[in-house]
Structure 1
């Protein structure tokens, strides 16, 4: 008796959400060097879906606080912010709040290390 092969098709259907929102306070200088970004007091890391949301988030961040964009990828939804700890935190809260209240996104809790 021949065993029947099963075939699975998986699809990724992104929701409107902030999937990761993490602030690294006072990172080691080596981390900045490895990432190829300017040294600062903090790094904010966000992952957003749909991925084009990073364009909106980058704009919101730079208008809300004195932060710079260390990295933005509209294809993966990754955004890295750099600045002082307090400024990066303000920017991240502003992104979460705006996306939740204005665009109906699910926001992520901002974690910190």
Structure 2
């Protein structure tokens, strides 16, 4: 989607912002203007964005902080170890969060990327 984002972040955004949903369409338009401000230090892959809001229109998500995308993760073995959430603030991409529901399966952005690709 963009050359300015790390490949893992760009790939996961592409996978979860698919389809014709008006929110997803508007958020995809924001991706070329995104940068990563910081990433979580625990290794999960959560990324917090910077965005040139003057360059794009907000998505129709409403004011405040909103979970604009929720993608549950399913392993090859059929286990449900976590999810990927995409947050917006005021209609602009704000951060991508990798959540773990399991103590037995390590959930990272790299693993999420693999599991999301296997759904396609």
Same fold (TM over 0.5): no
Q: Is the radius of gyration larger for structure 1 or structure 2?
A: 1
Structure 1 length normalisation: TM-score? 0.32
Structure with bigger RCO (C-alpha 8 Å, 6+ apart): 1
